[in-house]
Amino acid sequence: MKVVAAYLLAVLGGNTSPSTSDLKNILGSVGADADDDRIELLLSEVKGKDITELIASGREKLASVPSGGGVAVAASTGAVGGGAAAAPAAEAKKEEKVEEKEESDDDMGFSLFD
């Protein structure tokens, strides 16, 4: 990831085709180790390609990746078992009514400040 970041920094700095030494200089300036194999792999993959096209194609690929974890699970559970979602809501209403009844029984018509 740091090699990709260094590549992007070099491109943003105006160098349309950074070399291995350019990326090593960027990484070295922040004290990061530069792995020659990873740098060469990245440079071979992006050679001759436009960075804006690479970013656009990456966004399209990431759009299909599910994200949001629990929200997607809760939504799919509600869609599959629609009646199951209504049952807990009804139980919550019943519990609220029980709580109100208990509170009114506890004071038995007497107030703390009467």
CA 17 to chain centre: 31
Cβ atoms < 10 Å from Cβ of 9: 17
Percent of the chain's residues with pLDDT above 90: 35
**According to the model, what pLDDT value does residue 21 have?**
92
Q: Where are the domains of the chain?
A: 2-63
Cβ atoms < 10 Å from Cβ of 6: 24
Does 69 score more than 60 pLDDT? yes
d(CA 18, CA 12): 11
Residue at token pair 């656009």: 56
Average pLDDT over residues 39-64: 90
Domain covering 2-63, topology? Arc Repressor Mutant, subunit A (1.10.10)
